[in-house]
Amino acid sequence: MAAPDMYGDSTQDLSATSKVAILFIVLGPEYSAKLFRHMDDSEIESVTLEIANHKQIPNEVKSAVIGEFYQMLMINDYITAGGLEYAHDLLEKALGAERAKVIMSRLTTKLQVKPFDFLKKTDPSQLLNFIQNEHPQTIALVMAYLDPDQAAIVMSGLTPDIQADVAKRIAMMDRTSPDVIREIERVLERKLSAMSTQDFTTAGGVPAIVEVLNRVDRNTEKTIIETLEVDNPELAEDIKRLMFVFEDIVMLDDRSLQMVLREVDTKDLSLAMKSAGQDVSDKIYKNMSKRAADMLREEIEYMGPVKIRDVEEAQQKVVNVIRTLEEKGEIVVSRGQGDEMIV
């Protein structure tokens, strides 16, 4: 049976979305459904439309798509293990120089290798010994690309003065030149984990350091915050504001929340709850007397339209009360992974 015109003589003219659609068809609904869960709505819509357009697919096209997908998986494993150069050497030995060149040129444009990706397999304690004597800016750059849990272990092992300096550098980091990243990669590893694009990469920033601080022990976090409050008060406040947000109230235990509610001004609480989600509202009402909860509901109902900025300010006041009580040791706020409960 001749292949339909839309396929031509090979898969070279097929778009990436068409290839994904064919792969999904070959995999079947059970496995395809699992893959859909990792895609956003626009991607799902595009692939679904392509699947609908592919009525009959020649066996040679199916084989070609599966083969290309398999090659991409293998190349990705090779790159993760030792970089593009390592992957190219393996392919050249296995397939010959010419074919290896063709495959690499086709796939490297599709693969995005995260800087310092090879460090993900490194034990955090070994990584700490490896980089703790580097310049704080180098440590910050590496940690910005690490998994937050891995970075937290490294951060906890640094000396207090270095911790605050590195935290500040991560928070204030914006864009880093690929050349700088490559040079540091060369120093840290003989075999490169090279980037597949010349675009500037973005890492770091306040959210990145918050992810790390949410996972370190309370003493490390406190040391870093206190140092930053002296060195850079504005940055310290930005970090504290993100470390616990109003919606995180649902993570408080009932006793702690009841203590918070006793300290919060009723007017601030009603304004803060104006845009609160159902889970937050339920948690708060649950920890109030029926009379107080009814009065709060009534005040919110008759409040009328309010500015978003006013609501956010009121929510921040509630958060500030929570942080104050936590600093006094009167309540315990659960943070990330590994927190031990006081019993």
Of residues 199 and 181, the one with the higher pLDDT is 181
Q: CA dist 89 to 183, 188, 309, Å?
A: 21, 21, 57
Q: Looking at residue 338, what is its pLDDT?
A: 43
Q: How far is CA 42 from CA 16, 26, 35, 39, 206, in A?
A: 14, 22, 14, 8, 29
Q: Are residue 28 and residue 78 in the same domain, yes or no?
A: yes
> What is the per-residue pLDDT across 90-145, written as a single tens digit (0 to 9) for each?
667 766 777 767 666 655 544 445 667 666 666 677 777 777 888 888 888 888 88
Among 192, 207, 237, the domain boundary falls at 237
Residue with the bigger pLDDT between 338 and 321: it is 321
20 domain residue, yes or no? yes
Q: Phi, psi (5° rounding) for residue 270? A: -65, -40
- Residue 291 counted as domain residue: yes
User: How many domains does one find in the chain?
Assistant: 3
Q: Can you give the residue range of the structural domain that contains 226?
A: 117-237
Answer with the residue of higher pLDDT: 303 or 214. 303
> Are 316 and 223 found together in one domain?
no
Model pTM?
A: 0.43
Do 63 and 142 lie in a common domain?
Answer: no
Please give the pLDDT value at position 95.
Answer: 66
Average pLDDT on 310-332 reads 86
CATH number of the domain within which 151 lies: 1.10.220.30
Task: Tell whether 24 and 135 lie within a shared domain.
Answer: no
**Mean local confidence (pLDDT), 159-168:** 89
Mean pLDDT of 186-211: 56
Residue type, 33: A
Q: Are residues 201 and 285 in the same domain?
A: no
Q: Quote the mean pLDDT of the chain.
A: 75
CB 185 within 8 A of CB 104: no
The pLDDT of residue 244 is 79
Q: Is there a domain that residue 334 lies in?
A: no
Instruction: Tell me which residue has tokens 């120089």.
Output: 97
130 and 225, same domain (yes or no): yes
Q: For residues 300 and 288, what is the distance between their CA atoms, to the nearest angstrom? A: 15
